Amino acid sequence: MPELPEVEIVKRGLEPALLGKRIESAEVRRFDLRVPVPENLSSRAQGGRIQKIVRRGKYLLSFLGGDEVMVLHLGMSGRIHIYEPGDSMEIQKHDHIVLNMEGGARIVFNDPRRFGMLYLAPANDWQKQKPFSEMGPEPLGNEFHGPYLEKKLHRRKSNIKAALLDQKIVAGIGNIYACEALYQSRIDPQKLSGDIKGDEAEALVTSVKDVLQKAIVAGGSSLKDYRHTDGTLGYFQHGFSVYDREDKKCPGCDCKRGVQRIVQSGRSTFFCPAKQR
Ligand SMILES: [Zn+2]
């Protein structure tokens, strides 16, 4: 599932194809995504000229120049394909939405599991609408710091892993980067949120920023190659320390058992019991 770094990379890949360009037409092939695509999306999006693209958490917002902003969420399995002008394009299975751009580029939203979303929101007060109105700060921004996190975790009964996934505390973190940030800050994912204070909250914030930034850099460096291959943006193989590495040793670890997998709130958590306490 794409998290903040992958969505950020999708944004950077889309910008050259979209910014300043007019949407000649929008074809919707399936309306039944997680949130139904507006029936009149085509007529509302047509003629819009993309002014800017903003990422907020795991969402991308494309401002169409008028009263509306196009909101995209990739869900579990959503992908964006960019076809440059002149590229031959055949509609693939699960291609649900096609934007035909001025100049000939085509942007395709493909989503086998259909947990993604594409809808329109008012451009001037999208931040007052859910989910944005309830969303915590951007993890890479200045509002996300140790004292903020400590305050949000105060007296919270959930484990710290669940708290990191709560978009109301901080936006954009999913399962992979929660595991990696907890590993880097040496915090046991089962630890009670309310017990994370002071230096430990500070260390966790630093680790969150670090793992996200490194993933963006890694994704950015492979961006060109991705567009050269099949135009698919948004999924990258990172060198993870613990995520999906059950029974393997984490970097520089002398633990006998290696990385352990447990299930928290129905989702796999990977951690090193020797390093994380
Ligand atoms: Zn280890």
CA of 207 to the centre of ligand 1 (A): 17
pLDDT of residue 229: 44
Residues 151 and 220 in one domain: yes
pLDDT at 236: 55
The beta-strand segments (E) located in 133-254 are 232-233
Looking at residue 73, its pLDDT comes to: 95
CB atoms within 10 A of CB 208: 26
Residue 157: inside a domain: yes
d(CA 25, CA 110): 17
Calculate how far, in angstroms, residue 262's C-alpha sits from the geometric centre of ligand 1.
15
Q: How far is CA 174 from CA 6, 46, 219, 222, in A?
A: 11, 33, 16, 21
Residue type, 88: S
Same structural domain, 116 and 183: no
- Residues 159, 259, single domain; the answer is yes
User: Both 255 and 154 in a single domain?
Assistant: yes
**100 occurs within a structural domain:** yes
Residue 184 shares a structural domain with residue 106: no
Q: Phi and psi (nearest 5°) for 71?
A: -105, 125
pTM over 0.85: yes
CATH number at residue 191: 1.10.8.50
Instruction: Tell me the torsion sign for CA atoms 62, 63, 65, 69.
Output: positive
What's the Cα-to-Cα distance from 256 to each of 41, 91, 121, rounded to whole Å? 56, 50, 52
What distance in angstroms lies between residue 271's CA and the mean position of ligand 1's atoms? 8
Indicate the angle between helix axes 198-229 and 4-18, nearest 10 degrees.
Answer: 40
Match 């693209």 to its residue by tokens: 53
Residue 277 located in a structural domain:
no
* pLDDT score of 76: 85
Task: Indicate whether 97 and 35 sit together in one domain.
Answer: yes
Domain enclosing residue 193, as ranges: 146-271
Residue 123: which CATH number? Answer: 3.20.190.10
Cα–ligand 1 centroid distance for 108 (angstroms): 41
- Identify whether the C-beta of residue 165 lies closer than 8 Å to the C-beta of residue 175: yes
Q: How far is the CA of 173 from the centre of ligand 1 (A)?
A: 23
Same structural domain for residues 188 and 212?
yes
Catalytic residue list: 2-3, 58, 267
Q: Are residues 157 and 263 in the same domain?
A: yes
Give the pLDDT score at 13.
Answer: 87
Q: Mean pLDDT for each consecutive 10-residue tract of the chain (277 residues)?
A: 88 91 96 94 95 97 95 90 89 94 93 93 96 98 98 96 98 96 98 98 98 86 52 60 92 86 96 94
Q: What is the pLDDT of residue 222?
A: 61
State whether 127 and 160 are in the same domain.
no
Chosen domain end from 84, 101, 134: 134
Q: What does the pLDDT read at residue 51? A: 96
d(CA 179, CA 208): 10
Are 204 and 260 in a shared domain? yes
116 and 201 inside one domain:
no
Domain-terminating residue out of 87, 102, 134: 134
Residues 156, 128 share a domain: no
Compute, in angstroms, the gap from residue 199 CA to the centroid of ligand 1.
Answer: 22
Structural domain count of the chain: 2
Three-state DSSP at 87 gives coil
Looking at the domain assignment, is residue 32 inside a domain? Answer: yes
* Boundary of a domain, candidates 134, 168, 184: 134
